[in-house]
Amino acid sequence: MNNGPTAAPTRHVVRFAAEAEYQPPPDARPGEGLTRWTIADETTPGAVHTEFTVCALEPGGFVATAVQSYEECFYVLEGTPVVQTPEGATRLRPGDYGLLSLGVPHEWRNDDGGAPARWAQMRAPQPRAAYDHDVYGVAALGRTEPVAVDPRDPRNRTFGHIDPQNMEVDKQRQEFLAVSASMRTALLVYSGITVKMMVDSDLGALLTTMFMVQYEPAGVAGPHDHPYEETYLFLDGEAEATFDGRTYRLRAGDAAFAGVGCLHGFRNAGDGPVRWLETQAPQPPGRHSYRYVRDWDYLRSVTGHAAPAGHSTEEGH
């Protein structure tokens, strides 16, 4: 018996900065002073690939050496944490980002005596509670003197740096770029939107991507979905975001997750740019990574077939 249309499933979550709760991490690796605000994990509706958290490490805090059966990419928000790997120690600063590949031993520490450190962290495939969160303790790495991220050093294959000016179309000249101009440093510009890739296959990632997005005041992306999961951490400005037919106002510090099939869209709701950090898992396919409602509504218009009952054809809804 048909009782009418079935309500669409909810495949998203929105987390507001004012409601952030930092908790000790659930895995059992030794450490001190680390807490995390969870945006998406295996308990999140629609999330099967993504764990996205905002980590805070107190002065003097550390996370002991371990390896993981997933990729971990990160973007530093505050402070100067140190990540130690077999290749050495790296002193990070706000705007630095990087990739810890699957199976690479590493540890975190905050040896700044007065300032906490915070970073956004994305892991895929998703850590599983039933398997001790897929973390495996190994022998401690010898601590070495940390060095700063140098994006210009051709030997650097793990880390990068991005500043807000790197998102400006008129600041793509060589003197403003951290590395030599190339397709690697290219800025993608469309519909009032600019995108700068950070962590992707060029940096060695196989399972994840991380990039920066900026919308100018007229910037808009109509309703669409993807064959992969996305997470968004808002850094500047104000956005109007629609997920699964619900509309939210999101500002700096807020975050959201959209699962596969979640219809979503964005527009700049302020007078200046709005900027956010975005991740994807798994990595997008070579084609058909976007499915825009607008394009398929156009097909209906040229074939003469009416839209199904309850289907909205308006951009942004």
Give the model's pLDDT for residue 316. 41
Q: What is the pLDDT of residue 310?
A: 57
State the total domains in the chain.
2
CB neighbour class for 253 (10 Å; exposed up to 12, middle 13-18, buried from 19): middle
**Are 119 and 207 members of one domain?**
no
Tens of pLDDT along 27-67? 888 999 999 999 999 999 999 999 999 999 999 999 999 99
Residue 170 pLDDT grade (very low, low, confident, very high; cuts 50, 70, 90): confident
Percent of the chain whose predicted confidence (pLDDT) is above 90: 71
- In this prediction, residue 1 carries a pLDDT of 43
- The mean per-residue pLDDT over the stretch 173-202 comes to 82
Tens of pLDDT, residues 279-310:
999 998 888 998 889 898 888 889 887 666 65
Q: For residue 95, give the nearest of 162, 160, 156, 179 by alpha carbon.
A: 162
CA–CA gap between residue 102 and residue 206 (Å, rounded)? 10
| Mean pLDDT confidence for 207-226 | 94
Q: What is the pLDDT of residue 254?
A: 98
Q: Looking at the predicted structure, is the pLDDT value of residue 122 above 70? A: yes
The percentage of the chain sitting over the pLDDT mark of 70, rounded to a whole number, equals: 92
Q: Where a domain ends, among 148, 177, 199?
A: 148
Using alpha carbons, list the distances in angstroms from residue 13 to 257, 259, 262. 5, 9, 10
What mean pLDDT value characterizes the chain?
90
The domain boundary, picked from 87, 115, 148, lies at 148
In the predicted structure, residue 94 carries a pLDDT above the cut 90: yes
Residues 178 and 294 in one domain: yes
What mean pLDDT comes out for the span 152-159? 86
Q: Are residues 55 and 126 in the same domain?
A: yes
Q: Which of 109-118, 225-234, 247-256 has the lowest mean pLDDT?
A: 109-118
Helix (H, G, I), strand (E, B) or coil at 58: strand
233 or 166, which is more confident? 233
169 and 298 belong to one structural domain: yes
Q: Report residue 311's pLDDT band, with 50, 70 and 90 as the boundaries.
A: low
Same domain, 24 and 114: yes
Tell me what pLDDT residue 307 has.
Answer: 66
Domain match, 43 and 66 both = yes
6 within domain boundaries: no
pLDDT at residue 174, rounded to an integer: 77
Confidence of residue 5 (pLDDT cuts 50, 70, 90): very low
Q: How many CB atoms lie within 10 A of CB 168?
A: 15
How far apart CA 183 and CA 262 sit, in angstroms, is: 31
Task: State whether 204 and 82 are in the same domain.
Answer: no
The larger pLDDT score, comparing residue 8 to residue 239, is at: 239
Query: Residue type for 49, please?
Result: H
Range of the domain at 190: 163-303
Task: Indicate which CATH number applies to the domain containing 274.
Answer: 2.60.120.10
Predicted confidence at residue 235, as pLDDT, reads 98
Q: Grade residue 253 by pLDDT with cuts at 50, 70 and 90.
A: very high
Q: Which own/partner pairs from 242-245 qualify as long-range (CB within 8 Å, at least 24 positions apart)?
A: 242/266, 242/316, 242/317, 243/11, 243/12, 243/14, 244/8, 244/9, 244/10, 244/11, 244/12, 245/8, 245/317
d(CA 166, CA 158): 19
Same domain, 114 and 199: no
More confident residue, 181 or 117: 117
**Are 194 and 248 in a shared domain?**
yes
